[in-house]
Protein backbone atom coordinates (compact mmCIF):
# COMPACT_ATOMS: atom_id res chain seq x y z
CA UNK A 1 0.00 0.00 0.00
CA UNK A 2 1.16 3.51 -0.86
CA UNK A 3 -0.10 6.64 0.87
CA UNK A 4 -1.04 10.07 -0.52
CA UNK A 5 -1.62 13.01 1.79
CA UNK A 6 -4.16 15.81 2.09
CA UNK A 7 -2.97 18.97 3.87
CA UNK A 8 -5.86 20.55 5.79
CA UNK A 9 -6.58 23.54 8.01
CA UNK A 10 -9.52 23.39 10.47
CA UNK A 11 -11.56 21.90 7.61
CA UNK A 12 -9.71 18.63 8.21
CA UNK A 13 -11.91 17.90 11.22
CA UNK A 14 -14.99 18.19 8.98
CA UNK A 15 -13.45 15.72 6.53
CA UNK A 16 -13.14 13.17 9.32
CA UNK A 17 -16.53 13.92 10.87
CA UNK A 18 -18.55 13.89 7.62
CA UNK A 19 -16.34 11.57 5.53
CA UNK A 20 -16.55 14.05 2.68
CA UNK A 21 -13.71 15.77 0.88
CA UNK A 22 -13.93 18.96 -1.15
CA UNK A 23 -13.34 18.80 -4.89
CA UNK A 24 -12.14 22.13 -6.27
CA UNK A 25 -12.83 23.62 -9.73
CA UNK A 26 -9.42 24.56 -11.17
CA UNK A 27 -10.28 28.27 -11.51
CA UNK A 28 -10.23 28.41 -7.70
CA UNK A 29 -6.62 27.18 -7.46
CA UNK A 30 -3.75 29.38 -6.29
CA UNK A 31 -1.98 29.07 -9.65
CA UNK A 32 -3.76 30.98 -12.48
CA UNK A 33 -1.81 28.98 -15.09
CA UNK A 34 -3.66 25.75 -14.23
CA UNK A 35 -5.54 24.19 -17.17
CA UNK A 36 -4.38 26.94 -19.54
CA UNK A 37 -2.42 25.45 -22.44
CA UNK A 38 -0.89 27.80 -24.99
CA UNK A 39 -3.01 27.73 -28.16
CA UNK A 40 -0.97 28.25 -31.31
CA UNK A 41 -1.64 28.14 -35.05
CA UNK A 42 1.31 27.26 -37.25
CA UNK A 43 -0.71 27.44 -40.49
CA UNK A 44 -3.38 30.15 -40.43
CA UNK A 45 -4.60 29.56 -44.01
CA UNK A 46 -5.10 25.81 -43.62
CA UNK A 47 -6.88 26.33 -40.31
CA UNK A 48 -9.13 29.04 -41.76
CA UNK A 49 -10.13 26.80 -44.69
CA UNK A 50 -11.01 24.00 -42.29
CA UNK A 51 -12.99 26.29 -40.03
CA UNK A 52 -15.23 27.68 -42.74
CA UNK A 53 -16.43 24.13 -43.39
CA UNK A 54 -17.18 23.26 -39.74
CA UNK A 55 -20.58 24.22 -38.37
CA UNK A 56 -19.37 24.56 -34.76
CA UNK A 57 -16.42 26.68 -35.84
CA UNK A 58 -18.67 28.87 -38.00
CA UNK A 59 -20.99 29.35 -35.04
CA UNK A 60 -18.05 30.39 -32.87
CA UNK A 61 -16.92 32.96 -35.44
CA UNK A 62 -20.53 34.12 -35.85
CA UNK A 63 -20.86 34.70 -32.12
CA UNK A 64 -17.62 36.67 -32.08
CA UNK A 65 -18.78 38.77 -35.05
CA UNK A 66 -22.15 39.26 -33.35
CA UNK A 67 -20.57 40.43 -30.09
CA UNK A 68 -18.32 42.88 -31.92
CA UNK A 69 -21.22 44.29 -33.94
CA UNK A 70 -19.69 43.30 -37.28
CA UNK A 71 -22.76 41.14 -38.08
CA UNK A 72 -26.35 41.74 -36.94
CA UNK A 73 -28.30 38.84 -38.51
CA UNK A 74 -29.04 35.33 -37.22
CA UNK A 75 -26.89 32.23 -37.58
CA UNK A 76 -28.75 30.88 -40.64
CA UNK A 77 -28.14 34.16 -42.45
CA UNK A 78 -24.49 34.06 -41.40
CA UNK A 79 -24.02 30.52 -42.80
CA UNK A 80 -25.62 31.57 -46.09
CA UNK A 81 -23.27 34.52 -46.25
CA UNK A 82 -20.40 32.14 -45.54
CA UNK A 83 -21.18 30.05 -48.61
CA UNK A 84 -21.58 33.09 -50.84
CA UNK A 85 -18.44 34.84 -49.67
CA UNK A 86 -16.21 31.94 -48.69
CA UNK A 87 -12.93 33.26 -50.20
CA UNK A 88 -13.31 36.62 -48.46
CA UNK A 89 -14.39 34.95 -45.22
CA UNK A 90 -11.32 32.74 -45.30
CA UNK A 91 -9.22 35.89 -45.41
CA UNK A 92 -11.27 37.40 -42.58
CA UNK A 93 -10.81 34.23 -40.53
CA UNK A 94 -7.06 34.36 -41.13
CA UNK A 95 -7.10 37.94 -39.86
CA UNK A 96 -9.23 37.32 -36.75
CA UNK A 97 -7.98 33.85 -35.82
CA UNK A 98 -5.00 34.96 -33.67
CA UNK A 99 -7.18 37.17 -31.46
CA UNK A 100 -9.88 34.47 -31.29
CA UNK A 101 -7.30 31.95 -30.08
CA UNK A 102 -6.22 34.37 -27.36
CA UNK A 103 -9.85 34.72 -26.25
CA UNK A 104 -10.33 30.93 -26.21
CA UNK A 105 -7.10 30.44 -24.28
CA UNK A 106 -8.14 33.01 -21.68
CA UNK A 107 -11.62 31.54 -21.26
CA UNK A 108 -10.64 27.86 -21.24
CA UNK A 109 -9.98 27.68 -17.50
CA UNK A 110 -13.46 28.96 -16.63
CA UNK A 111 -15.06 26.74 -19.26
CA UNK A 112 -13.38 23.61 -17.84
CA UNK A 113 -14.26 24.64 -14.27
CA UNK A 114 -17.98 24.56 -15.05
CA UNK A 115 -17.82 20.79 -15.48
CA UNK A 116 -14.73 19.47 -13.69
CA UNK A 117 -13.11 19.62 -10.27
CA UNK A 118 -9.84 18.31 -8.93
CA UNK A 119 -8.76 16.55 -5.75
CA UNK A 120 -5.16 17.51 -4.98
CA UNK A 121 -2.98 15.22 -2.87
CA UNK A 122 0.73 14.99 -2.14
CA UNK A 123 3.22 12.14 -1.99
CA UNK A 124 4.83 13.70 1.08
CA UNK A 125 3.65 14.88 4.49
CA UNK A 126 6.79 16.70 5.65
CA UNK A 127 6.74 19.84 3.48
CA UNK A 128 7.31 22.87 5.68
CA UNK A 129 5.87 25.14 2.98
CA UNK A 130 2.66 23.13 2.63
CA UNK A 131 2.21 22.86 6.40
CA UNK A 132 2.50 26.65 6.47
CA UNK A 133 0.32 27.41 3.44
CA UNK A 134 -2.41 24.77 3.59
CA UNK A 135 -2.49 23.81 7.28
CA UNK A 136 -3.06 27.25 8.79
CA UNK A 137 0.57 27.77 9.86
CA UNK A 138 0.99 24.23 11.21
CA UNK A 139 -2.28 24.39 13.18
CA UNK A 140 -4.10 21.88 10.94
CA UNK A 141 -3.66 18.21 10.15
CA UNK A 142 -2.49 15.99 7.30
CA UNK A 143 -4.71 13.04 6.39
CA UNK A 144 -3.14 10.01 4.73
CA UNK A 145 -5.18 8.08 2.15
CA UNK A 146 -4.61 4.64 0.63
CA UNK A 147 -3.93 5.41 -3.02
CA UNK A 148 -5.15 1.94 -4.01
CA UNK A 149 -8.64 2.64 -2.71
CA UNK A 150 -11.45 2.59 -5.36
CA UNK A 151 -12.10 6.31 -4.81
CA UNK A 152 -8.89 6.94 -6.78
CA UNK A 153 -9.70 4.55 -9.61
CA UNK A 154 -12.28 6.64 -11.46
CA UNK A 155 -10.97 7.52 -14.94
CA UNK A 156 -8.52 9.05 -15.58
CA UNK A 157 -7.39 7.94 -12.09
CA UNK A 158 -5.01 9.41 -9.54
CA UNK A 159 -1.98 10.68 -11.46
CA UNK A 160 1.28 12.41 -10.55
CA UNK A 161 1.70 15.99 -11.69
CA UNK A 162 4.48 16.59 -14.20
CA UNK A 163 6.45 19.74 -13.41
CA UNK A 164 7.45 21.60 -16.55
CA UNK A 165 9.21 24.83 -17.53
CA UNK A 166 7.09 25.53 -20.63
CA UNK A 167 3.32 25.55 -21.00
CA UNK A 168 1.70 22.76 -22.98
CA UNK A 169 1.09 23.88 -26.58
CA UNK A 170 -1.88 22.88 -28.72
CA UNK A 171 -1.57 23.62 -32.44
CA UNK A 172 -4.94 24.52 -33.96
CA UNK A 173 -3.45 23.77 -37.38
CA UNK A 174 -3.26 20.03 -36.67
CA UNK A 175 -4.87 17.90 -39.37
CA UNK A 176 -7.05 16.13 -36.80
CA UNK A 177 -7.99 18.51 -33.98
CA UNK A 178 -9.92 15.87 -32.04
CA UNK A 179 -6.79 13.74 -31.96
CA UNK A 180 -4.62 16.77 -31.07
CA UNK A 181 -6.80 17.72 -28.10
CA UNK A 182 -7.07 14.10 -26.99
CA UNK A 183 -3.29 13.74 -27.10
CA UNK A 184 -2.62 16.99 -25.21
CA UNK A 185 -5.54 16.84 -22.76
CA UNK A 186 -3.80 14.82 -20.06
CA UNK A 187 -0.68 16.92 -20.51
CA UNK A 188 -2.34 20.18 -19.49
CA UNK A 189 -4.51 18.54 -16.81
CA UNK A 190 -1.56 16.87 -15.12
CA UNK A 191 1.22 19.42 -15.66
CA UNK A 192 2.25 22.41 -13.61
CA UNK A 193 4.93 25.10 -13.43
CA UNK A 194 8.24 23.69 -12.21
CA UNK A 195 8.27 26.15 -9.29
CA UNK A 196 5.61 23.98 -7.60
CA UNK A 197 7.77 20.87 -7.74
CA UNK A 198 8.21 20.74 -3.94
CA UNK A 199 4.52 19.77 -3.58
CA UNK A 200 5.01 16.36 -5.28
CA UNK A 201 1.35 16.55 -6.19
CA UNK A 202 -0.99 13.81 -7.31
CA UNK A 203 -4.43 14.72 -8.61
CA UNK A 204 -7.75 13.10 -9.41
CA UNK A 205 -10.32 14.58 -11.80
CA UNK A 206 -14.06 14.50 -10.97
CA UNK A 207 -17.24 15.46 -12.81
CA UNK A 208 -18.88 18.18 -10.69
CA UNK A 209 -22.37 17.08 -11.72
CA UNK A 210 -21.86 13.77 -9.87
CA UNK A 211 -20.88 15.40 -6.55
CA UNK A 212 -22.80 16.63 -3.52
CA UNK A 213 -23.28 20.40 -3.51
CA UNK A 214 -23.16 22.64 -0.43
CA UNK A 215 -23.17 26.38 0.16
CA UNK A 216 -19.85 27.63 1.54
CA UNK A 217 -19.25 30.53 3.92
CA UNK A 218 -18.03 32.72 1.06
CA UNK A 219 -21.36 32.10 -0.74
CA UNK A 220 -19.68 29.92 -3.37
CA UNK A 221 -20.97 26.45 -4.17
CA UNK A 222 -18.76 23.69 -2.78
CA UNK A 223 -18.53 20.21 -4.32
CA UNK A 224 -17.95 17.19 -2.08
CA UNK A 225 -17.10 13.53 -2.61
CA UNK A 226 -18.14 10.97 0.03
CA UNK A 227 -15.73 8.17 0.94
CA UNK A 228 -15.55 5.34 3.52
CA UNK A 229 -13.24 5.30 6.55
CA UNK A 230 -11.34 2.44 4.90
CA UNK A 231 -9.78 4.99 2.55
CA UNK A 232 -8.00 6.73 5.46
CA UNK A 233 -4.80 5.22 6.85
CA UNK A 234 -3.24 7.98 8.97
CA UNK A 235 -3.71 11.38 10.59
CA UNK A 236 -0.84 13.66 11.50
CA UNK A 237 -1.39 16.53 13.93
CA UNK A 238 0.58 19.74 13.37
CA UNK A 239 3.15 21.21 15.73
CA UNK A 240 0.77 24.08 16.57
CA UNK A 241 -2.58 22.28 16.34
CA UNK A 242 -4.73 23.70 19.19
CA UNK A 243 -5.57 21.30 22.02
CA UNK A 244 -9.31 21.69 21.35
CA UNK A 245 -8.83 20.52 17.76
CA UNK A 246 -6.68 17.61 18.93
CA UNK A 247 -9.43 16.55 21.32
CA UNK A 248 -12.00 16.69 18.53
CA UNK A 249 -9.85 14.45 16.36
CA UNK A 250 -9.20 11.98 19.17
CA UNK A 251 -12.94 11.85 19.91
CA UNK A 252 -13.74 11.04 16.27
CA UNK A 253 -11.07 8.33 16.15
CA UNK A 254 -12.63 6.51 19.11
CA UNK A 255 -15.23 5.12 16.72
CA UNK A 256 -14.68 1.52 15.68
CA UNK A 257 -14.60 2.51 12.02
CA UNK A 258 -11.32 4.39 12.66
CA UNK A 259 -9.59 1.65 14.67
CA UNK A 260 -7.14 1.00 11.81
CA UNK A 261 -6.08 4.65 11.47
CA UNK A 262 -2.62 5.61 12.75
CA UNK A 263 -2.45 8.91 14.69
CA UNK A 264 0.82 10.77 15.19
CA UNK A 265 2.20 14.27 15.58
CA UNK A 266 4.68 16.41 13.67
CA UNK A 267 7.47 17.83 15.83
CA UNK A 268 10.33 20.17 15.00
CA UNK A 269 13.67 18.51 14.30
CA UNK A 270 16.22 19.45 16.95
CA UNK A 271 18.93 20.57 14.48
CA UNK A 272 17.56 20.86 10.94
CA UNK A 273 14.78 22.71 9.17
CA UNK A 274 12.70 19.52 9.11
CA UNK A 275 9.86 17.67 10.79
CA UNK A 276 9.96 14.45 12.76
CA UNK A 277 6.90 12.38 13.59
CA UNK A 278 6.02 10.64 16.83
DSSP 8-state secondary structure symbol assigned to residue 258: G
Neighbours of 68 (CB within 10 A): 9
- Domain-wise residue ranges, the chain: 3-25+116-167+198-277, 38-113
β pairing state of 38-40 and 232-237: unpaired
Dist CA 89 CA 107 (whole Å): 24
Q: Buried b / exposed e across 178-204, counting CB within 10 Å, b at 16+?
A: eeeeeebeeebbbbbeeebeebbbbbb
pLDDT digits (tens, 9 = 90+) for 170-219: 888 776 666 777 778 888 889 999 999 999 999 999 999 999 999 888 77
Mean pLDDT of the chain: 90
* pTM of the predicted structure, to 2 decimals: 0.83
Give all strands (DSSP E) within the chain, no chain letters.
Answer: 3-8, 20-23, 38-40, 116-122, 141-146, 159-160, 162-164, 169-171, 191-193, 201-207, 212-215, 221-226, 232-237, 262-268, 275-277
Say yes or no to pLDDT of 61 above 80.
no
In this prediction, residue 177 carries a pLDDT of 67
Where helices occur in 29-175 by DSSP H, the ranges are: 44-51, 55-68, 75-84, 86-113, 128-134
**Which of 205, 170, 196, 189 lies closest to 35 in space, CA to CA?**
189
Amino acid sequence: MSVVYKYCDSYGVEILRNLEIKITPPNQFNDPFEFTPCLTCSNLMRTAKRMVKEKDAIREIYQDEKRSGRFVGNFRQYRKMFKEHRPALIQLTVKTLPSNLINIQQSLLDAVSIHFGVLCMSKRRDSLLMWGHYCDKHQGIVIGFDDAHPMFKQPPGLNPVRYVRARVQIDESAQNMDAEWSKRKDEFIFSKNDEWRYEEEFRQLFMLSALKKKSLKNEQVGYFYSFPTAAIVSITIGTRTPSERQQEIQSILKGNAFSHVKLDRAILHQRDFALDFE
